[in-house]
Amino acid sequence: MDYNKIIKSIKSKSGKFNGNELDNVLKYLDSQNSDHKSIDWLLEFEESFAQIVGSKYAIAVNSGTSGLHAALFAAGISDGDEVIQPSLTVIMDAYATIHLGGIPVFVDSKKSSWNIDPSLIELKITKKTKAILTVSWFGLPVDMDPIMKIAKKHNLIVIDDSAETFYGYYKGKFSGSNADIGVYSFENKKHLTSGSEGGMIVTNNEKLATLARKFAGIGYKHMTASAGRTHLAKSTFQDPNYFRFDTIGLNYRMNSISAAVGIAQLERSKSLVKRRKDNAKFFIDAIKDCSWLIPQKYDKKLYEHSYYTFAVLYKGDLVKGISWKEFYNQYKADGGDGFYGNVAIPYLEPALINKKFGKKILGKGLCPISEELQQSVMAFKTNYRDVNECVKQAKILKTLIDKIGRK
């Protein structure tokens, strides 16, 4: 194997991990033979992340989904508890609720932003409601202030799934840091990655942080809000009468290699997200004055979009008589590399449809606005590392729109 060739490829200008990722991984792998063993990769990653986000505590986990599971556990979700959550999102938010015995209660979306509609939340609150789980979708932060106000009124915990909103801001606050608990994902396509999978939980609440860490750390009793382990004398933990666990948890801990990669990504996270924002501008320009491609609407004075993708609502079927799929096929035929549709509504997925949770049988018609939006979304990639390729894709889109007609 030609290691020099591989290293050159990793470090190339277009490489996904061309920062200090390789150097950090090599340091970790050499830790058994050198002074590198003194580096606590997880602690460094957590502390650096917390500082950037502006939260007191950060807990690294092995995926965003496990982070949601741990966050809901920390919020006290158990059998029969209801968790209010958006309907235009991924199914994992519902999964995390269900695995704790909770009941997902779906709320419809705002037509403008596509995020959960705060005005509909209070209508869904019952005596069984224990938490509100929000999702900042496609990179646009959720309208958090009215949601926090509702939560305070009803003594509820708010968890924000900010998997797609790293370096997104709402009223000057880092998306996810303005909820009781924020959860981020480092899956390979996210703004920053820890290699392939990973996640982070943040909070300013010591009790919530401790519970989340213990749940994600197999329930070790010595875990604290700010540390995955404490230093104990060997004579203590080697004693047969030493008891280790005081919480029923799962092994959701992030490994050190992932943390090593995450640290390097975090070092240049501003530039990684800026690149997505810059790439989005090419698509924004491409759809200018097009009446049948409609982006998320938001007040730029209050929100800063982080553009996980550049998403629009497609109305070409109504305005031009061209179906979503026909437009997709033409874009591909013209040299485009495709775009994503919105993931299916969680309660319409085969795993959940027609299932009964609480008194509600899940099925079509539960959240009509979200169901309509889901069929119309087109999400264009913004994670091009070669800006010329992004320019090319945006030009293909622009040319196709001009061919069809913008009005």
229-287 residue pLDDT tens: 656 666 676 778 788 899 999 999 999 999 999 999 999 999 999 999 999 999 999 99
Closest C-alpha among 246, 196, 181 to residue 62? 196
Question: Distance between CA 24 and CA 260 in Å, rounded?
Answer: 5
Note the pLDDT tens digit of each residue in 179-207: 999 999 999 999 999 999 999 999 999 99
Instruction: Give per-residue pLDDT as tens, 341-388.
Output: 999 999 999 999 999 998 889 999 999 999 999 999 999 999 999 999
Tokens 């009446």 label which residue?
Answer: 291
Q: What is the DSSP string of 25-46?
A: HHHHHTTTTSGGGG--HHHHHH
3-268 and 270-404: identical CATH topology: no
Q: Could you give the 3-state DSSP secondary structure of residue 133?
A: strand
Q: 103 Cβ partners below 8 Å, 6+ apart?
A: 80, 81, 82, 83, 97, 128, 357, 358, 360
The position carrying tokens 């519970």 is 211
pLDDT tens digits, one per residue of 40-82:
899 999 999 999 999 999 999 999 999 999 999 999 999 999 9
- Rounded average pLDDT over 154-166: 97
CA distance 203 to 45: 15
Count of helix runs (H) and strand runs (E) in the chain: 15, 15
Question: Rounded CA gap, 211 and 252, in Å?
Answer: 13
Distances (CA, A) of 2 to 5, 140, 217, 314: 5, 43, 39, 48
pLDDT band at 330 (very low <50, low <70, confident <90, very high): very high
pLDDT at 316: 96
Helices (H), 238-351: 256-267, 269-286, 316-319, 324-333
Cα separation of 315 and 373, whole Å?
A: 10
pTM of the model: 0.95
Residue 228 has pLDDT above 90, yes or no: no
Of 123, 370, 220, the C-alpha closest to 211 is 220
Read off φ and ψ for residue 192, nearest 5 degrees.
Answer: -135, 155
- Type of residue at 336: G
pLDDT at 141: 98
Q: Show the tokens assigned to 326.
A: 């026909």
Q: Are 246 and 210 in contact (CB under 8 A)?
A: no
Instruction: List, for residues 70-126, the tens digit of each pLDDT value.
Output: 999 999 999 999 999 999 999 999 999 999 999 999 999 999 999 999 999 999 999
The total number of residues written for the chain in this structure:
407
Domain boundaries, the chain: 3-268, 270-404
pLDDT (0 to 100) of residue 359: 87
Cβ neighbours of 92 (radius 10 Å): 20
Q: Name which of 127, 149, 164 is nearest 296 in CA terms.
A: 164
The dotted CATH code for 3-268 is 3.40.640.10
Report the C-alpha gap between 394 and 331 in whole angstroms: 11
Q: How far apart are CA 407 and CA 404, in angstroms?
A: 9
Helical axes 256-267 vs 269-286, angle rounded to 10°: 60
| Rounded-to-integer distance, Cα 221 and Cα 296, Å | 45
pLDDT value of position 35: 66
From 229, 233, 216, 191, select the one nearest 96 (Cα to Cα): 216
Q: Residue 89: name the closest of 39, 35, 140, 38 by CA.
A: 140
Look up the CATH architecture of domain 270-404: Alpha-Beta Complex (3.90)
